[in-house]
Structure 1
Amino acid sequence: MKTKLLLWVLCLPAIVLVSCQSEQKNEEPKTKDMGSAFRTDTVQLRNYEQELQFTGQVSFDQKQVDRVYPMVSGNVLDVNAELGAFVKKGQVLAKLQSADVSQFVKDYNTAKSNYDIAKRNADNVEQLYKTKFSSENDLVNARKQLEIASSELERSSQVLKMYGGTSANSQPIFTVSAPVSGYIVERNINPNMQIRPDNGNSLFTISNLSDVWVLINIYESDIQAVKVGQEVNISTLAYPDRVFQGRIDNISQVIDNDSKVLQARVVLQNPGGLLKPDMFCTVKLHIEKPEKLLAVNPKSVIFSEDRYFVILDKGKGNYKSVPVEVIKSTSKYSYIKANLRDGDQVVTEGALLLFNELTD
């Protein structure tokens, strides 16, 4: 019995040692699970892109703008269209009481009376001619007078119709109607306003905002780099998370004397009418250069102690801090020189947290 107890005491340290070694073997290495905490992006070898940034302004598509001018003078009785409202073609926008229309109504009524007289006279002469109480010459003259009266009635009727009147309404009212469907983007008329005969300002401006223009301000130092057909990215304060893409389709040949800028034009489709005239915007233009450089996501670049770094994902939870030299940064890429290869994976989301852990 004492012998067995002695063997047990001697074997106990060996059992404890083996158990500890087993636990050490089963202990997992301390690594980070990239899939659960971090996101990566691919290092690319690509042509260097220069980024130019300009200011711009949204404007009407001048090819889809209709300005409504007053055709008569008079006093404004009523205005039925508000600024920014959508109107349909033919919709009444305003009504004016006009002495001009009153004269057109008078001309129409006179022409109508002359026509009735000429018609009655022609009918009488024709009846007399059939009974041999009138000559053929009288019949020809009567018909000629009827033709003249008919032409004058048609002319005065067309004039009255053009100025908004009708033969059934003798009131001197001029009706301003929408020539096209669209949005009221300018309104220069109010009730009780007097419209003078020499007024040269439009009463309404109607635009179809399905397309808009973005006018880009280009300074002289950048004129050489901007070409027709280049793609641009446009952002606005109203929609900071949205980028509108378009192409430059026209560049002016005249520099503004006050601002000293040259204007380029981008035509954008505007579904939903998100872009409004006079909105300010930022326009970015990327120009590709022949030189090839390594490019990474700007989110992957870390600045620490006057140096730049990226976190290289070596796979299987292994990461390495790599110093880089940033040549140029744009909104899309940071162009760098570093000990990296095309196709390497670098951390973007969580890069700073991982960098702090690696440098502790």
Structure 2
Amino acid sequence: MTVVFPHARLGLALIALAAGVACTGTSPQEPAAAPPAPAEAVVLSKTSQQLAGITVEAVKAEAVGDVLETVGTVALDDTRTARIGALVEGVVSATHANVGDRVRQGALLAGLHSHQVHDGWGDYRKAVADRRRVEQELSYASDALARTERLVADKAASTLELERTRAARAAATEQLAMAQAEVRRATESLEHLGISSNETTAAATEIIPVRTPQAGVVLERLVTTGTAVTPGTPLFVVSDTSSLWVLAEVDEAVLARVKVGAGVQVAVTAYAAERFPATVTLIGDTINAATRRVVVRCRVANGDGRLKPGMFARVQLEGIAPAPMVHVPVDAVQDLGERRVVFVPAADGRYVPREVETGAEREGRVEIRRGLVDGDRVVTRGAFLLKSQLLASPEGE
């Protein structure tokens, strides 16, 4: 289908453009009509092109950066958070920390009274007593061996007696090694409960101390004095909030543009005018089947403590620029039925529609994924008029 749109008079050309109807005939100022154009093309004279405001530009393939914006939640940094639980069955005898307290590493948070303390001390004292007894037996066996060796040298004892005393000393040495191992086991059992095995404090050490393994802020205290606990019962949550996580959800369609180490800007409602710099530290390994999104974990500094775990956040991820691709103004792309086309200039004022595959739109420009290459010339202004002329003309005209 070829549409011929020459110009007769300037006024008539303007009327024809406004009505969207092609004019026929040949202007006396224009040369004779061009040879038949290829199928499905629009033909405009030079004057008509000027009146229609047709603008043709060469396209250029370039990489366009982008900022991905999504939502997220401020969360505790698990690598800086201690969730402290009970090691044994017992009763909380006292608490020494409250929510909001800043504590140092090893600070005493609470005390537990447990029968395992008494059992542990009993095992330790028995092991120490057994070790002392075996040490005495070894000392006696060593003295007996030395005495027997002197007697054998003086021919006052037999070699059989010498072998017997040697065997007794070897047995005592082995028993001492076993006794020392039992003392170490009992000591480690007490240390596991947080109790020193120093016997000078044994009488006063009847309470299992609950201590924090790291410095931070007490965020939760889950027990009070008198609370009965079992192994694993949560007691306290202590976290260093000078560094937090922001867990953002990113659509799988743009996941390839997010990289570990990329910069992030975090905004929260409480400080709407501020942006908190962060860094992507982890990209999730699974996709949420319901939302088709992936969790991206970012680390944000919080030395001043203004960010609070649980806050909702707006997250801007600095996307990685995609591969160079042709972009044209949105108005350059027109819909012809189920096709999307741009108009490409040919010889003698002809404009041929070329089918293209489009991508994302951004700031008035659309991505062309297929149909154009770097350097192609397309109509960037006046494409709608060309489409109108093409659709208004009868088949085969």
Provide the aligned length of Structure 1 versus Structure 2.
Answer: 248
> Would the aligned equivalents of 2:82 and 2:212 in 1 still touch at CA under 8 Å?
no
TM-score for both structures, normalised by structure 2: 0.54
Unaligned runs of 5+ in 2: 1-62, 152-163, 330-362, 365-397
> Would the aligned equivalents of 1:77 and 1:192 in 2 still touch at CA under 8 Å?
yes
For the residue of structure 1 that corresponds to 2:241, the secondary structure is coil
> Would the aligned equivalents of 2:112 and 2:208 in 1 still touch at CA under 8 Å?
yes
Deviation at 1:143, TM superposition (A): 2.5
Q: Deviations over 1:70-97 (max 9, x none)?
A: 2211111112222232222221122111
Deviation at 1:184, TM superposition (A): 2.6
Residues 69, 274 of structure 1: CA spacing in aligned structure 2 closer, same or farther, 3 A cutoff?
Answer: same
- CA RMSD, Structure 1 to Structure 2 (Å): 3.3
For the residue of structure 1 that corresponds to 2:284, the secondary structure is strand
> Would the aligned equivalents of 1:164 and 1:173 in 2 still touch at CA under 8 Å?
no
Tell me, yes or no, if structure 1 residue 73 matches structure 2 residue 107.
no
Give the letter aligned to residue 72 of structure 2: G
* Structure with the higher strand share, 1 or 2: 1
Give the letter aligned to residue 216 of structure 1: A
Tell me, yes or no, if structure 1 residue 147 matches structure 2 residue 180.
no
For the residue of structure 1 that corresponds to 2:270, the secondary structure is coil
Measured in 2, the distance between the counterparts of 1:258 and 1:195 equals: 39
Measured in 1, the distance between the counterparts of 2:170 and 2:65 equals: 86
Residues 117, 230 of structure 1: CA spacing in aligned structure 2 closer, same or farther, 3 A cutoff?
Answer: closer
Give the letter aligned to residue 142 of structure 1: A
Unaligned runs of 5+ in 1: 1-46, 294-326, 329-360
Greater CA drift, 115-124 or 180-189 = 180-189
Measured in 1, the distance between the counterparts of 2:280 and 2:137 equals: 70
Give the letter aligned to residue 104 of structure 2: K
> Would the aligned equivalents of 1:164 and 1:175 in 2 still touch at CA under 8 Å?
yes
| Match runs of 1:1-360 below 5 Å | 53-132=69-148, 135-167=165-197, 168-170=201-203, 171-197=205-231, 199=232, 201-219=233-251, 223=254, 227-228=258-259, 230-256=262-288, 261-285=293-317
For the residue of structure 2 that corresponds to 1:242, the secondary structure is coil
Measured in 2, the distance between the counterparts of 1:149 and 1:85 equals: 45
For the residue of structure 1 that corresponds to 2:195, the secondary structure is coil
Measured in 1, the distance between the counterparts of 2:187 and 2:262 equals: 54
Measured in 1, the distance between the counterparts of 2:142 and 2:66 equals: 90
TM-score for both structures, normalised by structure 1: 0.59
Give the letter aligned to residue 101 of structure 1: V
Task: Determine what percentage of the aligned residue pairs are the same residue.
Answer: 25
Q: Deviations over 1:4-54 (max 9, x none)?
A: xxxxxxxxxxxxxxxxxxxxxxxxxxxxxxxxxxxxxxxxxxx98866543
Give the letter aligned to residue 125 of structure 1: A
Greater CA drift, 265-274 or 50-59 = 50-59
> Would the aligned equivalents of 1:99 and 1:172 in 2 still touch at CA under 8 Å?
no
For the residue of structure 1 that corresponds to 2:304, the secondary structure is helix
> Would the aligned equivalents of 2:141 and 2:172 in 1 still touch at CA under 8 Å?
yes
Measured in 2, the distance between the counterparts of 1:50 and 1:138 equals: 84
For the residue of structure 2 that corresponds to 1:137, the secondary structure is helix
> Would the aligned equivalents of 1:72 and 1:101 in 2 still touch at CA under 8 Å?
no
Measured in 1, the distance between the counterparts of 2:317 and 2:305 equals: 24
Bigger-Rg structure (1/2): 2
Q: Deviations over 1:180-221 (max 9, x none)?
A: 222233433322111124x3x54333322232111113356x
Give the letter aligned to residue 202 of structure 2: N
Q: Deviations over 1:287-308 (max 9, x none)?
A: 6798699xxxxxxxxxxxxxxx
Measured in 1, the distance between the counterparts of 2:102 and 2:181 equals: 40
Residues 51, 186 of structure 1: CA spacing in aligned structure 2 closer, same or farther, 3 A cutoff?
Answer: same
